[in-house]
Structure 1
Amino acid sequence: MAGHDGGSDAVTIEIIDRPGIRRSIPTSIWALGFVSMLMDISSEMIHALLPVYMVTILGTSVLAVGIIEGIAEATASITKVFSGALSDWLGKRKFLAALGYGLAAFTKPIFPLASSIEWLIAARFIDRVGKGIRGAPRDALVADIAPPHLRGASFGLRQSLDTVGAFIGPLLAIGLMWLTADHFQAVFWIAVIPAFLSVGLILVAVKEPERPKELRRVRMPLHRDELRRLGATYWWVVAVAAVFTLARFSEAFLILRAQSIGLPLALIPVVLVIMSLAYSLSAYPIGVLSDRVNRLTLLAIGLVLLLLADLVLAFATDFVWVGIGVAFWGLHMGFTQGLLATLIAETAPAELRGTAFGMFNLVTGLALLIASVIAGALWDQAGPQGTFLAGAAFTMLTVVGLFAIRSRLRGRTDA
């Protein structure tokens, strides 16, 4: 894998300092990061309040929240398969990415207008379709633009900027809930603004590179022959990612955990602020580090952090401990999400990157659906402690599984 064989790429990385790395990352990747950041500000202003809004205002059960969250994310994942494959077939990625951001922006006004749970489900569903349309083409576009020796840093940077939005959004939600005396709809309306700024930025600032003439044309990206071309190493990475995802569940349960210890409604978004701050601060440095060291070791550290998060959240008795557990959860995301994307980019053929990210997101999205439904059912039956202890048990199994396949995966790649 590029940057891991001790050759010139690795030497180049060793002699570039971090500010130098940031300057070397192409402008379009920075722009994609800020596009993601703005859309995340919008989405997280809404999502930081949505689980509590559904449970306390609309009277839905926690199991229903788990199912809705899982279906929403699975919808995005299924859509990513087709949009990723379509971007390979067209040989164009920016158009589909912009379309996905546009659809998400135009559905944001549904949230403040919704008067029933059915409307909220519809809004969440359509919003996630937009996410699904943009996800795989955008990630493939990052892989197309990024220099091979800066691929980990590039994915880490985009992920980090994306996650900056994920803690600015809840912070804005907290301030606006205080200013509006817990007026949910007013906060949802203000969240519409950064979504449309995001769409304008991708249209103006992101430049898609010309498709190399020597790159093979893909006629039917989802045909089994093309999926076979993705290779055994790619499918091993997908398998690892799926088990990773089964070991965690929707961040909605972190919000509900904070509510369960009596945190006031207006302060509930602090949970996502803490998680996203830890995620954002770790994603870029870990991306840079992954261009120099063994990526599977970093993934294993990420799982240990998830195990710690589950144990702390299971036994937390006040918000300080919940905050520590949530911080561990964010660090685990920073150690794993960008690395998995980098591994997908490096193990898949260039002409099939859109399809590769699409299949990766489909499998992990279905795993997240299963994990969220199980978590919701456990919460209703055994409370928050049962949910997080079950997460810890599955994480321990995942750690064992990762080390079991480590030698096999390393035998197929330089990671």
Structure 2
Amino acid sequence: MNSVPHSRRRHSLALIPRSVWALGFVSLLMDISSEMIHALLPLYMVSVLGTSVLAVGLIEGIAEATAAFTKVFSGTLSDRLGKRKLLTVIGYGLAAVTKPVFPLAPGLEWLTAARFLDRVGKGIRGAPRDALIADVTPAELRGAAFGLRQALDTVGAFFGPLLAILLMWLTASHFQTVFWVAVVPAFMALYVLVAFVREPDKPAATSARAAPLALRELARLGNRYWRLVMLATLFTLARFSEAFLLLRGQALGLAALWAPAVLVLMSLAYALSAYPAGALSDRIGRQGVLMAGLALLVMADLLLAWLPGLPGLVLGVTLWGLHMGFTQGVFSALIADSAPEALRGTAFGVFYLVTGVALLVASVLAGGLWDWAGYRATFMVGGGFALITLAGLWFTRR
């Protein structure tokens, strides 16, 4: 799991390809749309529809697992066709056209179906998009490129809940109005993608090869790749859905109007740290940055479990956002580093599949622990998985 050779050249945002910038802005706009909805959806389901916290965890887990299952097939297809952009457009397009379902949904079944289809779109676009970033970016800039995309993505996750708070105030907490406004940036994202993203001149087309999901092709991904997937799976068990951060705020008495501020704070910390952490991983190596991120997650869980009141929530959520910034882009760069060029789409797809299943398990477990033993059990078990992952990463590094 050694990273690419470290470049001594100073990183510059100007060196990052234009298509990576465009994909970052696409992620920004789509995240504004998605987070305006997702910042309110758990509260809407619990407080308006009377859904249990366990059911919220199950719905969130199934939605993310659906995205993960879809990613493995779209990634494989992008390897065979050499058409990363086409599949990315289809994925973002599906997410955009499902957004109007949220304000129109008459009950939980429709909301669940809309969340499911939205995540299918995310699954279709995820692996081809990340493989496209790896295709167009030099190896010595991958950490910075993935960090930039994560940062712009998370700026959207910052502004989305902020807009949700403003609109909830302006509309006297009318959920459906907020959901309707969220439709606009989704279609703007689709336009930017179609107009400004370009594939490389020689995409990694593999139509003459065996199917990438054949066992011998998966074996070509190598031991380094599979060790990374195992560590990422443990890590995902530690970082259940951010819906539980919202519910922690609600348990402290935050009104529905202000509850999205939890995601605003988390996203701000995430956005400010993602690019610097990615660029740092290009210079000093990926593993050290990942270990710092895991340590931040452990501290976040401890604070959310044991430090009472608003200070515990603010510090815990801030550290949670920092741990995301130190890990998500770096994991993507590691996948790009370890996978053969012709199997990058498959590598990202399998990675997202395995970690998506782990996220389903983590979210259901977190919801069950919350209902049966309280919020402290949820965060302490998450911290335990983070410590196990940190130990595994230390062992692998040594």
Query: Which bin holds the TM-score, normalised by the shorter protein?
Result: over 0.9
Change (3 A) 1:352 1:217: farther
The Cα offsets for residues 78-137 of structure 1, whole Å up to 9 and x where unpaired, read as: 000000000001011000001000000000000001111100000000000000000000
Does residue 358 (structure 1) correspond to residue 345 (structure 2)? The answer is no
AA matched with 1:378: L
Instruction: Name the CA distance, whole Å, in 2 between partners of 1:168 and 1:328.
Output: 19
The answer as to 2:252 corresponding to 1:261 is yes
Q: Which deviates more, 217-226 or 168-177?
A: 217-226
- The SS at the match of 2:284 is coil
1:216 Cα offset (Å): 8.4
SS of match in other structure, 1:222? coil
Match of 2:80 in 1: 89
In structure 2, what is the equivalent of residue 70 of structure 1? 61
Q: Is 2:99 aligned against 1:108?
A: yes
The CA distance in 2 between the partners of 1:368 and 1:68, in whole Å, is 11
1:238 to 223, 229, 232: 229
Per-residue CA distance 1:211-258 (angstroms, 9 max, x = gap): 268978434111111111111111111111111101120000000000
Deviation at 1:404, TM superposition (A): 2.0
Distance (whole Å) between structure 1 residues aligned to residue 230 and residue 373 of structure 2: 30
Distance (whole Å) between structure 1 residues aligned to residue 262 and residue 298 of structure 2: 18
Cα distance in 2, alignment partners of residues 173 and 258 from structure 1? 16
1:229 matched to which residue of 2?
Answer: 220
**Counterpart in 2 of 1:40?**
31
Deviates more, 1:391-400 or 1:353-362: 391-400
Give the 3-state SS of the residue equivalent to 2:257 in structure 1.
Answer: helix
Residue 349 (str. 1) matches residue 337 (str. 2): no
8 Å CA contact 1:81, 1:362 repeated in 2: yes
Structure 2: distance between partners of 1:81 and 1:91: 15
Structure 1 gap segments, 5+ residues each: 408-415
Judged with a 3 Å threshold, the aligned counterparts in structure 2 of structure 1 residues 378 and 168 are, in CA distance, closer, same or farther, namely: same
Q: For 1:279 and 1:214, how far apart are their aligned partners in 2? A: 34
Q: Distance in 1 between matches of 2:35 and 2:332?
A: 22
State the TM-score, normalized to the length of structure 2: 0.97
- Aligned residues of 2:303 and 2:313 also touching (Cα < 8 A): yes
1:262-286 CA-to-partner distances (Å, cap 9, x unmatched) read: 0111000000001111011000001
**1:2 touches 1:148 (CA, 8 Å); kept in 2?**
no
Among candidates 161, 186, 202, match of residue 195 of structure 1:
186
Q: How many residues align?
A: 398
User: Within 5 Å, which residues of 2 pair with 1:260-279?
Assistant: 260-279=251-270
Q: Give the letter for the 1:147 counterpart.
A: P
How far apart in 2 are the matches of 1:54 and 1:216? 45
Change (3 A) 1:213 1:103: closer
Aligned to 1:412: none
CA distance in structure 1 between the aligned counterparts of 2:382 and 2:226, rounded to whole angstroms? 24
Q: Where does the alignment leave 5 or more consecutive residues of structure 2 unmatched?
A: none
Identity %, equivalent residues: 63
Kindly report which structure 2 residues correspond to 1:1-400, keeping only aligned pairs within 5 A, or say none: 4-5=4-5, 10-11=7-8, 13=9, 16=10, 18=11, 21-211=12-202, 217-400=208-391
The 1:248/1:213 distance shift into structure 2, 3 A limit, reads closer
Matches of 2:295 and 2:347, distance apart in 1: 27
| CA distance in 2: counterparts of 1:5 and 1:69, whole angstroms | 38
Deviation at 1:2, TM superposition (A): 9.5
Aligned residues of 1:76 and 1:365 also touching (Cα < 8 A): yes
- Displacement of 1:392 in angstroms is 1.6
Q: CA deviation at 1:294?
A: 2.2
CA deviation profile, 1:321-370 (whole Å, cap 9, x unmatched): 20110000000000001010000001000011000000000000000100
